[in-house]
């Protein structure tokens, strides 16, 4: 390694400072490990605990923000080293991570790694989805939470899941005109289909139910229509969104005849669920399995949340969509296990934990949250009709401008995996490395070849997994161990 290369040794490195990462860092530090917590945002918290920008000097925080701030303070008090605004852009043998950030070393070698990268929103391609004014609901929430900025004045929200209600209520309270909130799932029929099963899964989820009810009541008082079984078919406009076509949907999310209508708006917020962020776990050599009910490709883990790569753990939504409560529980379990491993205790719980039943309590809570997540998936997973909205001329890879027709042409020429389609059509070669187009193209390939997602595969992953300045790569031309 040349003299200018900076390598730092660490015991436990936690990547991602959302609910899972903060919980893992705190648990590992309290267990006696030296912990480094890395996040690419300006402040810790992730999306769920996202804090307002420091420059705004907000005096009164929202409920989730207060919880996140308190958790961050406990993490700092526990002696965790926090590296914010830091990108983990690569991973190499012996758990060596490549970093880019204002205070970050070039490389860090960890004895144990806890992946808590979270998830990103599932995209949907339909005519007009690339117009300015069309965005993910999470993006609108970031603007509200961190910058106190409205994404627009006349807003339609479409998709599925409680996040739509929460974001819509926040927009109303911030002064936006919410034209309508559309949830494509037939919620009432799905809830009543198995009332006892669903009731048991909801039992104990009082804070979630209260948040949902409060958001619904905010919309009701403002006179905002909330339509279940409805969705967006297309967005319209030239250089800016001016309106959307919506329609009533059947149980497969396909439009019912003669129900289409237009809504005028300048902003469309879409939210169709989440996809685990697995680029870094794949780069580390972790084995993954296709589990659509948990968001797609997820890392395989043992009961201690360790992957097949010794010393690499995964917690929270990057290991399967489960929500913030499950992420906090998994983070604590993974943090404890990582600390025990670096301290030479294997993955066995301490005598104190075994005596007071703390680990068993955490595992019971994890099972409870997993039952709720199963119900969540049953209620809010979009139907196959969502994938039929794209027309031949609809762009499916925004980075490279690849259309649905071009993907179909690649399949017709013999490509039956994502890797082959990428080689022909160039989709997945842009800055996002397939995070946006990957799920869209995989669905199209599966539809046209009759293969399942496991056979279609994924785009290959390579460092840098996130865009960084070319100058930052110059002194890192070789593996740091060379």
Q: Give per-residue pLDDT as tens, 253-289.
A: 999 999 999 999 999 999 999 999 999 999 999 999 9
Q: Is the pLDDT of residue 29 over 70?
A: yes
Closest to 48 (Cα-Cα) out of 20, 76, 88: 20
* Residues of the chain above pLDDT 90, percent: 73
The DSSP output letter for 333 is H
Q: DSSP string covering 32-92, please?
A: T--EEEE-SSSSSSTTTTPPPPGGG--SS--HHHHHHHHHHHHHHHTT-EEE-S-EEEEEE
On whether the CB atoms of residues 110 and 12 are closer than 8 A, the answer is yes
pLDDT bin (cut points 50, 70, 90) of residue 355 is: very low
Q: Is the pLDDT of residue 240 over 90?
A: yes
Bridge partners (DSSP) listed for residue 114: 14, 313
185-224, pLDDT tens digit by residue?
Answer: 987 676 666 677 667 777 777 788 888 899 999 999 999 9
Question: Which comes out higher in pLDDT, residue 347 or 419?
Answer: 419
Q: How many CB atoms lie within 10 A of CB 124?
A: 23
Q: Which residue is it, tokens 């469309």?
A: 268
Q: Is the pLDDT of residue 247 over 80?
A: yes
62-94, pLDDT tens digit by residue?
Answer: 788 889 899 999 999 999 999 999 999 999 999
Closest to 82 (Cα-Cα) out of 134, 141, 10, 31: 10
Q: Which residue is it, tokens 């296709």?
A: 290
pLDDT bin (cut points 50, 70, 90) of residue 19 is: very high
The DSSP output letter for 389 is -
Work out the widest C-alpha separation in the chain, in whole angstroms. 70
Average pLDDT over residues 424-429: 92
On whether the CB atoms of residues 182 and 157 are closer than 8 A, the answer is yes
Ordered domains of the chain (ranges, CATH): 7-120+275-348 (3.50.50.60), 134-272 (3.50.50.60), 390-456 (1.10.10.1100)
pLDDT for position 352 = 55
Average pLDDT over residues 291-299: 93
Classify residue 39 by burial, with Cβ atoms within 10 Å: 0-12, 13-18, 19+.
Answer: buried
What gap in Å lies between CA 98 and CA 96, rounded to an integer? 7
What gap in Å lies between CA 314 and CA 82, rounded to an integer? 19
CA 180 to chain CA mean position, Å: 25
How many contiguous H segments (helices) and E segments (strands) does the chain have?
16, 21
Beta-carbon contacts of residue 61 (< 8 Å; ≥ 6 apart): 51, 52, 69
Q: Is the pLDDT of residue 482 over 50?
A: no
Classify residue 388 by burial, with Cβ atoms within 10 Å: 0-12, 13-18, 19+.
Answer: middle
Closest to 255 (Cα-Cα) out of 233, 240, 238: 233
127-158, pLDDT tens digit by residue?
Answer: 999 999 999 999 999 999 888 899 999 999 99
Query: Is residue 437 within a helix (H) or strand (E), and if so which, with residue range?
Result: helix 437-449
458-474, pLDDT tens digit by residue?
Answer: 999 989 999 898 887 77
Average pLDDT over residues 387-396: 96
Q: Is the pLDDT of residue 58 over 80?
A: no
Closest to 383 (Cα-Cα) out of 120, 141, 187: 187
pTM for the whole thing?
Answer: 0.92
pLDDT for position 60 = 77
Bridge partners (DSSP) listed for residue 115: 15, 314
The DSSP output letter for 141 is H
pLDDT for position 480 = 54
Bridge partners (DSSP) listed for residue 157: 181, 269
Q: DSSP string covering 97-111, please?
A: EEEESTT--SEEEEE
Bridge partners (DSSP) listed for residue 231: 247
Average model confidence (pLDDT) across the chain: 90
pLDDT for position 2 = 37
On whether the CB atoms of residues 335 and 23 are closer than 8 A, the answer is yes
SS3 assignment, position 130: coil
Q: Is the pLDDT of residue 336 over 80?
A: yes
pLDDT for position 356 = 60
Beta-carbon contacts of residue 129 (< 8 Å; ≥ 6 apart): 123, 235, 270, 394
């Amino acid at each position: 390694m040349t003299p200018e290369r900076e390598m730092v040794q660490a015991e436990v490195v936690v990547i991602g400072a959302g609910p899972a990462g903060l919980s893992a860092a705190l648990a590992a530090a309290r267990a006696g490990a030296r912990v480094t917590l890395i996040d690419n945002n300006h402040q810790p918290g992730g999306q769920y605990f996202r804090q307002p920008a420091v420059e705004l000097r907000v005096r009164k925080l929202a409920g989730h923000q207060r919880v996140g701030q308190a958790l961050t303070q406990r993490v700092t008090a526990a002696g965790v080293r926090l590296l914010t605004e830091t990108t983990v852009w690569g991973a190499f043998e012996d758990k060596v991570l490549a970093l880019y950030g204002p205070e970050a070393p070039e490389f860090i070698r960890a004895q144990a790694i806890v992946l808590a990268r979270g998830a990103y929103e599932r995209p949907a391609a339909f005519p007009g989805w690339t117009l300015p004014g069309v965005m993910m609901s999470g993006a609108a929430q970031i603007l509200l939470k961190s910058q106190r900025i409205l994404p627009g004045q006349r807003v339609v929200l479409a998709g599925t899941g409680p996040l739509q209600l929460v974001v819509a209520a926040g927009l109303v309270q911030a002064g936006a005109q919410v034209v309508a909130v559309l949830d494509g799932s037939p919620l009432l029929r799905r809830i009543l289909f198995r009332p006892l099963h669903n009731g048991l899964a909801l039992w104990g989820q009082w804070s979630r139910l209260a948040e949902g009810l409060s958001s619904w009541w905010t919309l009701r008082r403002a006179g905002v229509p909330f339509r279940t079984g409805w969705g967006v078919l297309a967005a319209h406009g030239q250089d800016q969104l001016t309106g959307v076509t919506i329609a009533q949907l059947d149980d497969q999310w396909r439009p019912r005849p003669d129900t289409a209508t237009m809504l005028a708006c300048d902003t469309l917020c879409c939210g169709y669920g989440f996809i685990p962020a697995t680029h870094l776990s794949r780069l580390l050599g972790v084995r993954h399995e296709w589990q659509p009910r948990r968001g797609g490709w997820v890392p395989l883990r043992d009961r201690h949340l360790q992957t097949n790569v010794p010393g690499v753990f995964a917690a929270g939504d990057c290991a399967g969509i489960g929500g913030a409560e499950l992420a906090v529980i998994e983070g604590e379990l993974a943090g404890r296990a990582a600390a025990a491993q670096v301290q030479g205790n294997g993955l066995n719980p301490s005598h104190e934990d075994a005596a007071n039943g703390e680990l068993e309590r955490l595992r019971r809570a994890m099972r409870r949250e997993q039952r709720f997540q199963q119900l969540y998936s049953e209620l809010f997973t979009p139907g196959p009709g969502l994938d039929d909205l794209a027309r031949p001329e609809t762009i499916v890879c925004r980075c490279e401008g690849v259309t649905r027709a071009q993907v179909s042409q690649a399949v017709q020429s013999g490509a039956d995996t994502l890797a082959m389609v990428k080689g022909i059509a160039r989709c997945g070669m842009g800055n996002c490395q397939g995070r946006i187009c990957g799920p869209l193209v995989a669905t199209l390939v599966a539809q046209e070849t009759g293969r399942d997602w496991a056979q279609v595969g994924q785009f290959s992953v390579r460092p840098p997994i996130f865009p960084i300045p070319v100058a930052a790569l110059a002194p890192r031309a070789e593996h740091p161990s060379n």
